[in-house]
Structure 1
Amino acid sequence: MSTTEDWIDEIETQRRQKDRYFGEDPRSPIPDEERAAFDGLNYYSVDRTYRFEVELDVYDEPEPVVVGTSTDGEQEYFAWGEFTVEIDGQPVTITAYKGDPEEDRLWVPFRDETSGEETYGAGRYIDLEPAHHRTDEGRWILDFNAAYNPTCAYSDRYECPLPPTENWLDVAIEAGEKEFGH
């Protein structure tokens, strides 16, 4: 297991790499006309209290869920299980989804009390890959410091799935990526 310093360095390195990609890569979601003035995304400071090693309570029979999108479309996911953590003294339950039941990757979309104020109004995402987000004991690392905006936060040319209402959290998650200022 890495040290706290290693973990913070890893998050900060990922942020620098994303900023470089968004500012320089022709496939960046930042519109071409805005890219020259782009000087990086806004983030909350890395905060250990938003990083959890937690069991996933996998549903006995994961159900397909139709999720609305930012362009009034629909996409189907499977509600796979839920994590329960404590934030600011409150128990918080958040559902994890899979796009395909055969894949190992989990997707955790959410809105919280910062949505539309300090963070993107439609919500943010966390991706969990078993190779990087599972402990040797089989617990998941649910790290809100890695929360990011969907591509539709940067440009209307993207269609993004919206967090289902069960993941509209009644707490402020002051971690991860903040609102993108055009």
Structure 2
Amino acid sequence: MINRILLLIATSLILLSCSTSKTVSKVAAIETYQKELASYYMDPKTTPLVDDEKTNFKGITFFPINKKYTVKAKFTPIENGKIIPFPTSAKKIKKYKEYATVTFTLDNQQQTLTIYQSFPIMEKYEDSLFLPFMDETNGVTSYGGGRYLDLNTKDFTTKSNEIVLDFNQAYNPYCAYSKHYNCPIPPANNVLDVEINAGVSYHK
């Protein structure tokens, strides 16, 4: 009996250790992503900013990492997706094709967003997907023009209809920091009625 109890305790500790290890690994991955993004803007060799913009640039800021905003979502592929014209910050039009919808629960509310693919599809970016969204933080603690998540067609598998969305990796379009870009504005169907206090924040 004692041996059985000890075995159960040991098994529980192993499972707890594995769970903790996975959590630490996920946090480390987010931290790495955020450091690389901040460095990308600050590095003179990679920054999308021009010289006069670099002077007043204060760097990229982030909300605290919060596992609440790493959510499992049910995805539904969109067959023969429509080509949608997106208005942009430069008052032009960019076209995107509907790829799938994702549905998830946050703050006890069900939310649905549409994932898009750039159109026409360039061979170099044929696996790249685009999730633009707005939420209740826009214009307050995040950029008023919305934020983006990058996804990949390989994130979707036929074995499961679930995908993980990590809003801790949400980022601002270049237009948040520069007037020299043409950034698509998230469509009305991708406006969330909750706060996403994760990812890149924004303070002028």
Q: Common fold, TM-score beyond 0.5?
A: yes
Residue in structure 2 matching 1:66, options 73, 76, 85? 85
> C-alpha distance in 2, partners of 1:36/1:71?
23
Number of the residue aligned with 1:89: 108
Quote how far apart the aligned CAs of 1:124 are: 0.2
Quote how far apart the aligned CAs of 1:37 are: 6.3
Q: Which amino acid aligns with 1:174?
A: N
| TM-score scaled by length of structure 2 | 0.79
Change (3 A) 1:136 1:66: closer
Quote how far apart the aligned CAs of 1:121 are: 0.2
Do 1:41 and 1:180's aligned partners in 2 also have CA atoms closer than 8 Å?
Answer: no
> C-alpha distance in 2, partners of 1:79/1:146?
22
| TM-score scaled by length of structure 1 | 0.88
**Residue 43 (structure 2) pairs with residue 43 (structure 1):** no
Residue in structure 1 matching 2:74, options 36, 51, 55? 55
Do 1:24 and 1:35's aligned partners in 2 also have CA atoms closer than 8 Å?
Answer: no
> C-alpha distance in 1, partners of 2:112/2:141?
22
**Residue 98 (structure 2) pairs with residue 75 (structure 1):** no
Do 2:89 and 2:183's aligned partners in 1 also have CA atoms closer than 8 Å?
Answer: yes
**Residue 184 (structure 2) pairs with residue 165 (structure 1):** no
Residue in structure 2 matching 1:106, options 129, 141, 149? 129
- Structure 2 unaligned segments of length 5 or more: list them: 1-18
| Bigger mean CA offset, 171-180 vs 70-79 | 171-180
Aligned Cα RMSD in Å? 2.3
Point out the structure with max Rg over C-alpha: 2
- Structure 1 unaligned segments of length 5 or more: list them: none
| Bigger mean CA offset, 23-32 vs 48-57 | 23-32
> C-alpha distance in 2, partners of 1:146/1:69?
22
> C-alpha distance in 2, partners of 1:79/1:3?
33
Quote how far apart the aligned CAs of 1:32 are: 2.2
Number of the residue aligned with 2:14: none
Quote how far apart the aligned CAs of 1:39 are: 5.3
Number of the residue aligned with 1:26: 45
Quote how far apart the aligned CAs of 1:29 are: 2.3
> C-alpha distance in 2, partners of 1:141/1:135?
12
Matched pairs, number: 180
Do 2:142 and 2:201's aligned partners in 1 also have CA atoms closer than 8 Å?
Answer: yes
Number of the residue aligned with 2:24: 5
Number of the residue aligned with 1:121: 144
Sequence identity of aligned pairs in percent? 35
Quote how far apart the aligned CAs of 1:68 are: 0.4
Quote how far apart the aligned CAs of 1:87 are: 1.1
> C-alpha distance in 2, partners of 1:31/1:114?
28
